[in-house]
Structure 1
């Protein structure tokens, strides 16, 4: 007979041995935000897009201080740089020089770089303002429709369908053209910016509203909502303290994708002549002025076109990265 195998001894971990290294390092948990940030940092394309977005926002915020610091005037005419016979900039590449690194406009000779800088804050103010307005309306109505359901959901859903049926571009052209002179005690640039923010933001809220409604329909059946009801929480408390914090991720992702859409919409209205009015610089307005010169001076059209392209691309890359970081199952 063989000797029995002993199961006690070194193979059995002693409590003292297990606890001996417990004080050498603590295992710390990570929040959902930290986990999302770790995922986001691994996406180099999204990080690059985020860096470009930060730089664009800083340029927009510092546009007026930079102009004041260096004595730049986006509406200053430089007729000495324009050929009187052709109305084109003298020199090559649209009049590019050390003083005018991106050249000057045909006919007027205004510095393109300064006007691009001036137009950046206009585009971003309209885009961010319209996004905040549409997100506020869409989030509130979407979470109410999804949580209460029934008749409330039916009314809000039909309201969403009504707004989605509007021919937004034609409606925006009609309103902008009507309010060009003055309204609501405003005139000039403040009026144009306010009208654009209202038109773009007020009529775009159903897109986010549908997303929030769908997410709320799923969240309202979760255990934490039932627990809140069981503890006596009322509807408003559940909406804004339980459901809304869990909708922050989708709202942030959609916002980063909506901002470039709003930038393009503002540029389209300015290009059609019913948005930001000259002499105020805007990227869409610069493209409108470049239509008559794109064959003989393509520089004038390429620069504002690239400004719009880079801005929209950066926001889209950032939005895709945030979506993957906040919801890895969407990959």
Structure 2
């Protein structure tokens, strides 16, 4: 081999070669990891099914949920015909009717719409508050002490008595201003959000403390980037993973809290169906009609379980340190 051919081979080896195929997208890797988590797939699918069901269910099942029909009260679900031949049931009311003749399926659809609306709204509001507090505490050293002591103070408060006190104090003013349903919606969403942002704040603060000493943040500071630009362009995109996981857990917490308030009778008005209100109304006749407790209870449990599974799958898929295990 001559010296000239050897030089050609060396220069050829040093030249950049085009990749044989385009690089994989990061989101493609996230999806590949997410779909390996069977529980997360179930959780996401069931949550999507419930959300679409409560949104479009009234168009498919157009019975008014508050319509009274005393002549057709206390119908049993259609499946009770298998073991109760004398039960009053039929396809007109496949989930049965309550003691006032109201269709339970229509109430569950409409109640799910209210419960899911409260859950999503409270989750988004708590996420905004927690992210803002966590970013401010983690990035600005002079604000860290006071914001974290505020977070510890709110964490130490008994949440349920605090929620009951807030509902008792502000129910009447808000109801008179925004109406019974609108006022209670604003009050419940605000109370749940103001008592559930602390976990998000602590998680975001920890990640911001670790990220702000990284080389790319120091480089952004060295070229004169403002704190607002650094937070929006460099820090927030890197903490999106814990924020999304916290969002799923916040949604589950909000649904359970709203159901508990409605069950205790301090939520929406008595003629305004929610899943918790359906449980509360069914307690007095639980021995005679156990399905009235089981149906909304199963829906609440499966919805919260699906959200928790979805959060586990997102955590595994979005965290590059454990991706692929």
TM-score of the aligned structures, taking structure 2 as reference length: 0.87
Shift of 1:181: 3.0
1:207-222 to structure 2, matched below 5 A, reads 207-222=199-214
8 Å CA contact 2:76, 2:89 repeated in 1: no
Tell me how far 1:188 sits from its aligned partner.
Answer: 1.1
Alignment match, 2:26? 32
Corresponding position of 1:180? 171
The answer as to whether partners of 1:138 and 1:209 remain within 8 angstroms in 2 is: yes
- Deviation of 1:251 (Å): 0.4
The total of aligned residue pairs comes to 307
The 1:95–1:193 alpha-carbon spacing in structure 2 relative to 1, beyond 3 Å, is farther
Q: Tell me how large the CA RMSD over aligned residues is.
A: 2.5
1:103 aligned partner? 96
1:238 aligns with 2:243: no
Distance 1:46 1:56 in 2: 15
Q: Name the CA distance, whole Å, in 2 between partners of 1:261 and 1:91.
A: 30
Distance in 1 (CA, whole Å) between partners of 2:228 and 2:77 is 66
Structure 2: how far apart are the matches of 1:252 and 1:41? 17
Q: Give the Cα–Cα distance (whole angstroms) in 2 for the partners of residues 285 and 56 of structure 1.
A: 18
Structure 1 unmatched ranges of 5 or more: 1-5, 7-13, 83-87
Runs of 4+ in 1 over 4 A off after TM superposition: none
Unmatched segments (≥5 aa) in structure 2: 2-8, 81-86
**SS state of the match for residue 62, structure 1?**
helix
The match for 1:198 is 190
Instruction: Verify: 1:155 aligned to 2:146, yes or no.
Output: yes
1:135 maps to 2:131:
no
Query: CA–CA distance in 1 between the matches of 2:118 and 2:196?
Result: 13
Q: Which one has the largest radius of gyration? A: 1
Residue pair 2:77, 2:94 contacting (<8 A) in 1 also: no
2:46 paired residue number: 52
